[in-house]
Amino acid sequence: MPYNYTSGGTAELKLGDATYQLPILVGTEGEKAVDIRKLRAQTGYITLDSGFANTGSCASSITFLDGEHGILSYRGYAIEDLAEHCSFVEVAYLLAHGSLPTRQELTCFSHMLGKYALIHEDMIRFFDGFPANSPPMAILSSMVNSLCSFYPEMLDNPLENIDKMAARLISKVRTIAAFSYKKSMGQPLVYPRHDLSYCANFLNMMFDSPVQPYVINDTVVAALNKLLILHGDHEQNCSTATVRVAGSARVNLYASISAGINALWGPLHGGANQAVMEMLQLIHNEGGNYKKYIERAKDPNDPFRLVGFGHRVYKTHDPRSRIIKKACDDVLAALNIADPLLDIAKELEEVALKDSYFVERHLYPNVDFYSGIIYRAIGIPTNMFTVMFALGRLPGWIAHWKEMWDDPDWRISRPRQVYVGPRRRPFVPLDQRAG
């Protein structure tokens, strides 16, 4: 076994008169898996697991989640410690390289991020081709994919200079995001500055203007660092799994990340942070009647779901949501903002967590429930909230893409299926088809 699994004995599978022994693998945090990698060859059977709720796609050393106990760690470090003590750049290095950087490593990495902050001037003309109201996530995935054209060397050897490519992407995605906002506002682009930190640079590119210089607020910079850290990685979530599936065909990093950006866009996934704010705004506009929406969420005949609630893995509080909720109070107090949507969100949480529908289904606020409150307080428009999620998740996607390429167990992702369509039938020529 190429990973540091430990053996958990074997599982016995009886199929008809035959009995099969399947190895049990145990991960470093005690997670147990029945190894079915030879199941079809041995038995002719496959397994079926829609949404992969019970299926592990790989071994990974990047992030550990314990959904029953609300535990999250990156490379063994608790998310609470990282959010409290680190910058986003430190955590991006940790995710991509596997260890917290030394001071020298951090300086070197920060220098690379500064060096690669510009995008090719020819790329800036792409913005003019997008209609004014283009969705920022569509722009982001298109621009990231187009980066392959400006760095064709990665097409021949996707792994060559991977650390440089990763730093280049982490820096340029920040610039692309800010430029797309400026373009949408019809304002002049603000270029990155070498003297500003990662988050301060982003905020300056977003909000500085020739007629009103942006004053960098340390509280806002700290809040943005915390938010990006909390979005850094989350093991095999939908968008990360998409990056791995695309990358498993041995496509380059930028194309794989572009695929992940599109998966994240979904309202059930990263798009939820925008949908939460739209839901809270709707409730506010209707006089704060959140109970109506709780009843709608509980109605099996109503497709409405309480956005920002529920999670495939967490069956207790999402630890990130707790940290963000506290940060909301701190940031709004520091900026002297009173946001009625935060009050609605808190009341919604309090009522839902006492309601048997949510309690029985273990539905708690997830990472998206409160994050938009802070983005809004910072001044980021709602339609860019999922772009902010992508900015934070990028180091995690890169780490998983790299890990997959290094995986001795790697194979192209190609799930099986159970066919339930028509049985074999004779062909009918066109002139003999009824109707």
Task: Report the distance separating Cα 159 and Cα 428, nearest Å.
Answer: 51
Active-site residue 368, yes or no? yes
Q: By CB under 6 A, which span of 27-35, 99-107, 155-163, 269-277 interacts with ligand SDX? A: 269-277
Site for ligand SDX in 11-70 (CB under 6 A): 51
Per rule CB under 6 A, is residue 349 in the interface with ligand SDX? no
Residue from 311, 325, 400, 402 binding ligand SDX (CB under 6 A): 311
Active-site residue 311, yes or no? yes
Q: By CB under 6 A, which span of 91-99, 128-136, 252-260, 267-275 interacts with ligand SDX? A: 267-275
Minimum CB separation of residue 408 from ligand SDX in Å reads 26
Nearest by Cα to 119 from 212, 197, 182:
182
Residue from 258, 366, 371, 386 binding ligand SDX (CB under 6 A): 366
Per rule CB under 6 A, is residue 75 in the interface with ligand SDX? no
Q: Can you say how many angstroms the Cα of residue 99 is from the centroid of all Cα atoms in its chain?
A: 21
Minimum CB separation of residue 361 from ligand SDX in Å reads 4
Cβ neighbours around 375 below 10 Å, total:
22
Determine if residue 381 is left, alpha or beta; phi over 0 gives left, psi from -120 to 50 gives alpha, anything else beta.
beta
Which is closer to ligand SDX, CB of 190 or CB of 229?
229
Site for ligand SDX in 144-203 (CB under 6 A): none
Minimum CB separation of residue 387 from ligand SDX in Å reads 15
Task: Report the distance separating Cα 41 and Cα 165, nearest Å.
Answer: 39
Handedness of CA 192, 195, 197, 203 (dihedral sign): negative
Helix ranges (DSSP H) in 151-190: 153-156, 162-185
Residue listed under structure tokens 């159970």: 418
Which is closer to ligand SDX, CB of 183 or CB of 393?
393
Instruction: Select which of 311, 318, 339, 400 is catalytic.
Output: 311
Task: Report the distance separating Cα 409 and Cα 407, nearest Å.
Answer: 5
Residue from 36, 94, 327, 367 binding ligand SDX (CB under 6 A): 367
Bridge partners, 23 (sequence order): 10
DSSP state letter for 419: -
Minimum CB separation of residue 370 from ligand SDX in Å reads 12
Minimum CB separation of residue 356 from ligand SDX in Å reads 12
Minimum CB separation of residue 289 from ligand SDX in Å reads 17
Instruction: Select which of 318, 339, 368, 400 is catalytic.
Output: 368
Written as six digits, the tokens of 34 are 């029945």
Total site size for ligand SDX, rule CB under 6 A: 22
Using alpha carbons, list the distances in angstroms from residue 253 to 158, 187, 394.
7, 31, 11
Strands (E), 55-142: 63-66, 71-74, 77-78
Task: Report the distance separating Cα 189 and Cα 396, nearest Å.
Answer: 28
Where is 109: in which H helix or E strand?
A: helix 103-115
Site for ligand SDX in 222-261 (CB under 6 A): 234, 237
Site for ligand SDX in 289-308 (CB under 6 A): 297, 305-308
DSSP reduced 3-state for 421: coil
Q: Which residues bind ligand SDX (CB under 6 A)?
A: 51, 234, 237, 268-270, 272, 297, 305-313, 361, 363, 366-368
**What residues act catalytically?**
311, 368
